[in-house]
Structure formats: structure tokens, C-alpha cells
Structure 1
Amino acid sequence: MRILFIEDNPDFLSIVSALLRDEKHKVVEINNADDAVKAVENDTSNFDLVILDIMMMLGTIINENEAPETGIAIYKRLRKRNKSIRVLVLTALSKKDIWRHFETDNNVTYFGKPIPSDTKKFLDIVEGR
């Protein structure tokens, strides 16, 4: 599976990417909001999944009034270009705090940080099981 992984914490990005690569997934890493916007506003059809952090540093492209969190603004821009790609929201925010932005989208799944030491549930979600 080809995965676009958007996460601004370099340690978390590295650990989770390694986990995904161990499972034979191809991972493209993006570690800042500006590069994320550029990536999602281009053709994302060659990806099977976008893993998206919600609380990211703003960058220069996204207006601070665009959405309550940078990751939500990135998600909205992604959906303007690609309505069907699966998105895994991977965040330290509770589902209750953010789900209103995603609840009508059947192609979005929530997973809370941190990923537990038993990674089976996370990998099941990644793989669509």
C-alpha cells in the first residue's frame, strides 16, 4: 500500500513510518504544513491512504482562520481534490474534540496517539480491516 504520512513530530514520524515499512508499505513522509498543502493539492490518486496529524505548526500557506487546527485545513484541501481517498486521522486530540469535522465522511478513521505497544489495531486500521 502507498501511504502519504503527514506528521510534524520527527520522532513520531520516523517510528510510525518504520513500523509501516516493516509491514511492506511504501511511505511518503511530509513533516510540515506547507509541504502537506502542496502534496494534497496535487494528484494524490497514487496513494491508497493519507495518515494525517491534526495539531501541526501552521506554516505560511494556510490562513490561521481557515480551520481550528492545521490538520483540519489540510483535510479540507485534500477533499477538494480527492473525495474518495481513505484518511486516517492520527492525533493526540480526543475524537470528541474533532470528530464533527469528519463525521459525515465514510472514508475517515480516527486513531488516538500514542500508538500502543500492541500495534495490531493500528495496522488493522491502516490495512482497512
Structure 2
Amino acid sequence: MPCCSHDFCTISLSDLLTPWETIDKRLHACGMGDFVVSFYNPVSKKRDWQLNHARDVLLQYRPASTPVMIGRQLTRPEEDITFTTLGELDAKDVDMFTMVSVGNSDTKHIVNGEKEWIYTPRGYSKKL
């Protein structure tokens, strides 16, 4: 979870073992708490709407410009990491081999030459 250096949560979007009502409640709590969140099990062949719903819930609490990292096949030879925004996030761009990390209100998208990442500071700047 490259954008995490402060509080964060992980949420499975699979309702196979957890009722969707519970997952939805967690999405709202994450949004209200301004947590960085990483989604695993974001979509499957039978579940293709949950990620877009999660995006829509988070858009109630943070701007569409919030940075998002899409990591596919992480730690495997086919690893691919792309960056987008919460407003542009779409379930058609992910599969079961994907982890989606959504930043919070302090998360920054950083580009330095060919290197690109998202980062959430711990908040020490507020104490200076």
C-alpha cells in the first residue's frame, strides 16, 4: 500500500462471506473517517458493480481529484501500476488480481521524471 504512512483501512468488496450491507457500512465509515483505503477482491466475473459503488460512496466524502493507485499482479512478473483519480476510477479497468488504493484528503500524486507515486503524509506539517 504505497500511499499509506498514516491511518488506513483495507476492505474486501466480495460479498461472498460478508453481507453487502456490512461492506457498505464500512465504506461510509471509511469515507467519514477520511481514511486511505485499499480494496481487494474489487471485482469478479459475477461481481462487477461493487467497485463503482464504493467509488460513488467515497465521492460523497472526498473530491473527484483524490489520487488512486491501481496495482495489478503485484509482486509478479506481470506487475502493472497505474494512477488515476477517484472520479475516473472504473471497475472495467480492474480484475481479481488488482488492488485499488484510494487516498485521503492529504494524499498527493507525485511525478518526478519517470517515477510516479502517491503519498499520504503523517500530518506533522500541521504541528509546525
Based on CA coordinates, which of the two structures has the bigger radius of gyration? 2
Question: Does the alignment reach a TM-score above 0.5?
Answer: no
Bigger strand fraction = 2
Please report the TM-score for the alignment, with normalisation by the length of structure 2. Answer: 0.38
Higher relative contact order (CA 8 A, sep 6+): 2
Bigger helix fraction = 1
Please report the TM-score for the alignment, with normalisation by the length of structure 1. Answer: 0.37
